[in-house]
């Protein structure tokens, strides 16, 4: 009897710890399972990039120069439909220069690239103020047609 009482308290603690770990594990699995999908391939590239910048600004995505650089390159790949075989002989900016007719955009992309490279040397706290300065340039195009197409696709799918 005394032997059972001696181990009763540690066993209860172990059971409580295991239950807490199981609840945390199930909660994490549920978060991953029900995570909303925001990466719509039909979304205009500038709106996608703007949303990524906003996510970094509000803190839902980590803001650092590497993440910003990856998002910027993904934006260029999306907007100019750049694939791996295009980059075998040319750089990203050579492909963009061939496909973009407006020299102001090419200049803007060069400034962003250089600024991101400069952010490598600066503290992480400098990334968010820089994001605030460039994000307005990517929220100017009209997206009415994309929204209408998306609404039409949702209505068609409701009948499925």
Check residue 59 and give its pLDDT: 87
Confidence band, pLDDT 50/70/90 cuts, at residue 132 = very high
3-state SS, the chain, equals CHHHHHHHHHHHHHHHHHHHHHHHHHHHHHHHHCCCCCCCCCCCHHHHHHHHHHHHHHCCCCCCHHHHHHHHHHHHHHHCCCCHHHHHCCCHHHHHHHHCCCHHHHHHHHHHHHHHHHHCCCCHHHHHHHHHHHHHHHCCCCCHHHHHHHHHHHHHHHCC
Average pLDDT for the chain: 83
Q: What are the structural domain ranges in the chain?
A: 45-140
Confidence band, pLDDT 50/70/90 cuts, at residue 129 = very high
Confidence band, pLDDT 50/70/90 cuts, at residue 111 = very high
pLDDT by residue (tens digit) across 47-75? 889 989 999 999 888 899 999 999 999 99
């Amino acid at each position: 009897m005394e032997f059972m009482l001696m181990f009763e308290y540690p066993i209860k603690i172990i059971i409580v710890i295991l239950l807490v770990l199981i609840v945390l594990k199930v909660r994490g699995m549920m978060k991953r399972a029900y995570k909303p999908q925001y990466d719509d391939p039909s979304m205009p590239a500038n709106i996608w990039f703007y949303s990524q910048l906003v996510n970094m600004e509000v803190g839902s995505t980590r803001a650092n120069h590497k993440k910003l650089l990856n998002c910027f390159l993904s934006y260029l790949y999306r907007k100019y439909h750049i694939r791996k075989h295009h980059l075998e002989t040319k750089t990203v900016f050579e492909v963009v220069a061939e496909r973009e007719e407006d020299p102001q955009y090419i200049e803007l992309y060069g400034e962003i690239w250089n600024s991101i490279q400069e952010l490598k040397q600066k503290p992480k706290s400098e990334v968010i103020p820089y994001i605030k300065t460039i994000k307005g340039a990517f929220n100017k195009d009209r997206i009415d047609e994309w929204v209408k197409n998306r609404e039409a696709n949702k209505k068609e799918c409701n009948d499925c």
